[in-house]
Structure 1
Amino acid sequence: MKRQAFLMACGILFSSINTAQSETIDHAHQYHACMELVRNAPEEAFDSALTWKSLGGGEAAEHCIGTALINMKRYKTGAERLEELADYSRRPKEFKAQILAQAAQGWFLADELDRARAVLTTAITLDQHNANLYVDRAHIRSTQHHYKDALDDLNKAITLHKAHVDAFVFRGTIYRLTEEFEKALNDINHALTLDPSHSEAYLERGMLHRIDHKNDLARKDWLAAIELAPNSDTAETARLNLEKMDLAVTE
């Protein structure tokens, strides 16, 4: 399962900034503008943040720089800068944990999975009650085929947040990969009870129906996944699965 929340996260973290640093710059406004620019023009955001930092942008400017670097696909450099920011930041430890989670995203995208996992482990020590951190680490552990450890993280996440839809879908995926199909289906059905519009849950349930030779049900779920998010990777996977199933039937 590709967790979009993990792979694409670059949240607005510095929501309140001390604007007393400068009489001429609204740093809170500058931060929000910089982070908006990151999404569509990261190179421009990077240049803007460098200038802003020289004018007193501080930690907020540095966060925009690190985020821009990751979106520019300079993953290692961005991750390193975000780790450094978390290290010297004077903000609460829970805030530092979010910065480290984003640094882990950079290491993951750089295919430095051990480093990504280690950084997330540090983040968890700073904020042990953040369910998302456990889900993110489970993603890395499952990518490394450490399924038991991934399940441990997902179980912890669900204990902390009993309605965490992504955690249930992801745990269902791990159960499928480890051939515990009944547990997998239970988790996916529960996820769809919590969120009937979760496209990845339909994709996953379709796979489980296909394994159980229930082709009509598999088709129904994969079509639902496509309808809910037609331009997503999830929809593309559903289309490929439908093609493979149809080809197998005609052979």
Structure 2
Amino acid sequence: MVAAGNPVGAQSEDQEQAARYANCMDLIELDADQALEQAQTWADLGGGDPASHCAAVALLRLGHHAAAGEELESLAASLEQGFAFLQIPILIQAGQAWFLAEDLDRAYAIQTTALAREPNNVDLLVDRSMTAATVGDFDGAVSDLSRAQANAPQRADILVLRASAYRYLDQAARALADVERALAMDPGNAEGYLERGNLRRLAGDDDGARNDWVEAASRAPDSATAAAAQANLAKLDVKVE
């Protein structure tokens, strides 16, 4: 016997919609253009919030950051009750979209709004710290990263980001302590080697800086981290083969 209020047809439709949503999100990783086209067609056919979300994420992946930000922010404000659980993840994506669109005031405002609802959300804290650091508010970045680190003490990346913020605040001892902890926790962390190299260079230890930057470049080839390490090495007249 089927329980009252839970008809088989409705349950089947929910399952079908969930599967279609999952497939659409997976397709973004393979072909964002096709995912966007499918999501827009699905939305026109009544796909509702899942279709709109998939379309917005596809826009974000395709580099249409401002358009994605608009869509994600609007969607977060109008979610149907059954999809309210997606509000914070969508706000996180909206903040990231506006950050990438270089609308930092809007990114910060969205991140702050979301944090008022989930004050210990580590991803939100990290994202807002990066927004703060980009506008030169390194004290704010340290504050957010310290709260994030308290809630995710196993994440080396948070320590590396805080080390960078401390460096900009001319707090070299704290910066070095953070990056050393990060590398002890994650010896393969390329960003950690890049940051420690920066700190060693500022301390006048060119050999130590060189070694760390070479390590950073070798740990993450063809990455932004490697490019930064190579640029620093070039200033020391050193080339990595």
Q: CA deviation at 1:154?
A: 1.0
How far did residue 37 of structure 1 move? 2.6
**Mean alpha-carbon deviation: is it higher for 33-42 or for 201-210?**
33-42
In structure 2, the partner of 1:9 is none
Change (3 A) 1:194 1:91: farther
DSSP-derived class of the 1:46 partner: helix
Note closer, same or farther for the CA distance 1:50–1:156 as it changes in structure 2 (3 Å cut).
same
Task: Give 1:239's aligned amino acid.
Answer: Q
Flag the 1:104–1:19 CA change in 2: closer, same or farther, 3 A: farther
Give 1:154's aligned residue: 145
Determine helix, strand or coil for the equivalent of 2:120: coil
What CA deviation, in whole Å up to 9, does each residue of 1:200-221 have, x standing for no partner?
A: 0010001111111212211211
Q: CA separation in 2, counterparts of 1:147 and 1:79?
A: 25
Equivalent residue for 1:198?
A: 189
User: Relative to structure 1, is the Cα distance of residues 36 and 19 closer, same or farther in structure 2, using a 3 angstrom cutoff?
Assistant: farther
Aligned to 1:103: 94
1:161 shift after superposition: 1.8
Q: Who is 2:56 aligned against?
A: 66
CA distance in 2 between partners of 1:208 and 1:59 (Å): 47
When normalised by structure 2's length, the TM-score is 0.87
CA distance in 1, matches of 2:58, 2:123: 22
Q: 1:239 Cα deviation (Å)?
A: 0.7
The corresponding residue for 1:21 is 13
Q: CA deviation at 1:47?
A: 0.8
Structure 2: which amino acid aligns with 1:20?
S
Change (3 A) 1:170 1:122: same
What is aligned with 2:65?
75
Structure 1: tracts of 5 or more residues without a match? 1-17
Determine the C-alpha separation between the residues in 2 that align with 1:118 and 1:142: 15
Is 1:176 equivalent to 2:195 in the alignment? no
Q: Distance in 2 between matches of 1:173 and 1:119?
A: 24
Contact 2:120 2:147 in 1 (8 A): no
Query: Does 1:53 find its partner at 2:43?
Result: yes
RMSD of the TM alignment (CA)?
2.0
Deviations 1:47-73 (A, max 9, x none): 100112234432221111111112222
Counterpart pick for 2:24 among 30, 34, 52? 34
Secondary structure at the aligned position of 1:129 is classed as: coil
Which residue does the alignment assign to 2:75?
85
Equivalenced residue count is 228
Please give the alpha-carbon distance, in whole angstroms, between the structure 2 residues aligned to 1:19 and 1:40: 29
Q: Which has the higher contact order (CA 8 A, sep 6+)?
A: 1
> Which shows bigger deviation, 199-208 or 44-53?
44-53
Please point out which of 211, 217, 221 is paired with 2:202: 211
Report the equivalent of 1:11.
none
Aligned-pair identity (%): 38
Structure 2: which 5+ runs fail to align?
1-9
